[in-house]
Structure 1
């Protein structure tokens, strides 16, 4: 009886272990500093005032929102998610060598957007904007 129970337990283990190994990993969180404070998550928000936001890579599905005020937003890694400056005269930069495959949105007012290779969307939004794209898709509303 004990021997039969052990064989059943071993057989169940061989079936359950491969199932446990096929679990999809969770999405990586975007890591930033907002006004000098570390913030991480799939959505990183600035304040209603002017902010300094600096982030590493921005994963697909993640977003960085400047909100109101004249924000300074720098992305130091691949931009696969969305950067939205929001209202205000924002400065948004994806560092040279960083590929944009997501979206960079200036929002209303006069914004400055600087990116390297662009395979995504760079949209200055409403207002008089300055956009510079090193290569790839041209910016719109700039």
Structure 2
């Protein structure tokens, strides 16, 4: 009886283990583009205005808003957050590594803690960093 139960548990572990390990370690976490889940590692908007949110992105992940006036919100970033063309609103809690770049347009970028690079890009940009490295290419 105990042997049969042990065999069943071993067989079940062979099935469950691949399911648990199917998400890559570098995958973006909790991302959505316009309300649709986006697993990453490349989170891409559209040529129009987008609403992009992620709990966190890692060093292999990139968020690209593309064109339009995008809203991008990320809790923690070690990857690339790129607003693209348009007047974008970009909000990041912590930039641990990588970069945040508004791209072409008049962007608003707000970062609580910056340990990497925050750049407004081309245009008249409003950038605020709470602590850490100051932003570059920001006029206001």
Residues 1:48 and 2:44 are matched in the alignment: no
Offset of 1:131 from its aligned partner?
A: 0.2
Which structure 2 segments of 5+ residues have no match?
Answer: 1-22
Separation in 1, partners of 2:95, 2:112: 6
2:98 alignment partner in structure 1: 102
Larger radius of gyration: 1
Spell out structure 1 runs of 4+ moving beyond 3 A. Answer: none
2:77 alignment partner in structure 1: 79
Superposition pairs of residues 1-142 of structure 1, within 5 angstroms: 26-31=24-29, 32-76=31-75, 78-95=76-93, 98-142=94-138
Separation in 2, partners of 1:87, 1:108: 5
Give TM-score scaled by structure 1 length.
Answer: 0.77
Which structure 1 segments of 5+ residues have no match?
Answer: 1-24
Give TM-score scaled by structure 2 length.
Answer: 0.78
Offset of 1:56 from its aligned partner?
A: 1.1
Could you list the per-position Cα deviations for residues 10-32 of structure 1 after superposition, in whole angstroms to 9, with x for gaps in the alignment?
xxxxxxxxxxxxxxx94331131
SS at match of 2:77: coil
